[in-house]
Structures are given as structure tokens and as C-alpha cells.
Structure 1
Amino acid sequence: HELGVTWEGVMVGLGMGLRLLIMLWAGIWLLSTMSVEELAQASQQLGLPSRAGFVFSLAFRWVGMLLGAGAGVVQAQRSRGLDVSTGGILQRIRKYVPLVIPLIGHVLRQTNLLAMSLESKGFHPLAKRHFYSAGKLGFRDYAVISVMLILVVVGICLRWQGVGTLDVRF
């Protein structure tokens, strides 16, 4: 069998790439327009358990914390002469060990501090959450939600019609 580029393959690749790009754009847009607290509050207003909002907000905060800690560890190890960009693949993997161990230690310390903080504030995962400011949806919010829902429905209908799929029969 010969491998080649076909029109169908290009269209399927473009469709998959567009789906990935849309999901990435939507995530970036969501995180750039809402604070972590607003995201937790919105998830509770949508009927999700308060624990889900807490988990979302905690996960987003930890991503930033891990990126910052990782950058600090990389700088510290580079100042000690570590160069991870040279050598073969196995050598490069071994060079990352001095980066991972301090990062794990940092994560464990932060987890312990978070647990103590939640315990000292009387956190209970099943307790009803109350927010300082209750956000209300305005006209623009409903307009954006409507447009997004229409786009999702159109995307689902196009998918059912076979647009962006590859019909492979062997």
C-alpha cells in the first residue's frame, strides 16, 4: 500500500485541528475573562456541587503555582551548571531528575500548608458556600451563551451529517 495525501485526509485533518483550536480558544477565553472565584461561583450557580467549584478553582490555582515553582527550580539548577538541552534522549531524561525532586518537595509542602489552612478555617466539603458578591447574568452574558449554544448545535448537526469525518471501509 502506498501512503499519500488525499483530499479527504486533508479535510479530516483540518476538521480535527479546528476542533482542537476551538477547545483551546474557549478555555483560554474562559480563563482570561473570569477569576478563579467567579468560576467556582458560576459552577455552583449552574447546579454543580460546591465541591466541584472548589476542585476547579484549586486546580487552576495549582497550575500557576506549579509553573512558577518549576521555573524557579529550573533557574536554580541552571545556575549550578545543569544543561538539559545537550546529550542523547536518555541523558536528557536523566538530567530532569534534579528538577523533579525539588518540585515534588515543593508540592508536598504546599499541600500540607493548604490542608492546615483549610482545617484552621473550618472547611467542610459538604457545607453550602456563600459568596461575598453574587454575580448576575446580563444581556451580553445571555447573548454569548446563546451564540455558543447555537454553534454547538450546528457543530453536532454537521457531525451527524458526516462533515469532518472520514468514512473508512476496508
Structure 2
Amino acid sequence: MFGQTPSGHTFSLDFCYMEWENDNGYIWALQELKMLFQTPKIPKVIITDREPALNLAIELVFPSSIHNYCTWHISKNLIQNCPKYFKRMIASINSKDYAGSWAYISNNLLLFKKLFFTVWASQHPHLGNQASSCVQSANSYIKSFINNSNGELSKVFQNFKTAIDIQLKPIHHTKGKERV
């Protein structure tokens, strides 16, 4: 999980190794993360892809946080899936075929519109973030400090500490200048 300062600096909040990316795995990871926060300072907005197990965990562990979907992932889904359903709708020769294509679009896009369309997503403080792209680059940055997947955990943790120390320098430098 990553955070962002008002001036746009992205920083690592938490990371973990998960054996399984399922309901229980995500619930455990988010419960561990929640213990790091003081109660009034839990995340106000959380942006993710549409991973069902993660969605459930957020709902259970951070029920007062606003959960938005990443517009990049939504766009990718639209590009991959909607054209074929839209073409099927246009070419439908009966109402059943049309209804099936429209149902896909409605249930996979419009049903969740309040989680990513700017008109609704901007009602909550998200520091201009509607996509997880800054998180993707921050995640890539952290991963660059892991030399291989077979390393000793003590070495991995030392590398993570180095990465975080490097991230914190510009944040500490601008901390006094930032205001929300």
C-alpha cells in the first residue's frame, strides 16, 4: 500500500508477502495494515482494480474509507471487452441478443459508475488520483530493491529499509511547506 503527500510525493506505507490472494489473505493483510494507523487517520480513499477478494477485505476492514476503482484498469477492461458487446448490440437482430449485450455493459461498467466516474469520485479527497499508475511505479521502485525471489528475508528487509529511506528524504524536505 502506498500513500501520497499533498505535494504529490508517493511513499510506501506497507507491503507484505501473501501466500494466497484470496478473501482471507487480503483480510489478514489489511488487518495488519490497519494496526499501523491511529483510528482517525485511516485511509480516506482507497483506489484498486476490481479484485473481488480485495474489495471484500476493504469493505470489512476499512468500512468508512471510500473505495474507488482505478480508471486505468476500467479503461483497459473497456478496450478489451466493450467493443465486442457494443458491436453485438448494434448487430442484434432480436431483443434477446440486444438485452444480453446491454446487460454485460450495465453490470460490468454502469453498475460501478460511482466508483470511478469523476463526477462521483471527486466528491472525496483523493489528491487527484483516480488511477493506480503512481502506485504501479512506486511498486516497481520497491521491487527494484529485491535482487531475486530466493534471497534471505533479512537482506530483503534491509533493502526495503534502504528504499524507504530514499523515499522519505524529499518528503521530509518539503514537509514544512505542505498544506492540505
User: Does TM, normalized by the shorter one, top 0.5?
Assistant: no
What TM-score does the superposition give when structure 2 sets the normalisation length? 0.29
What TM-score does the superposition give when structure 1 sets the normalisation length? 0.30
Q: Which has the higher helix share?
A: 1
Q: Which has the higher strand share?
A: 2
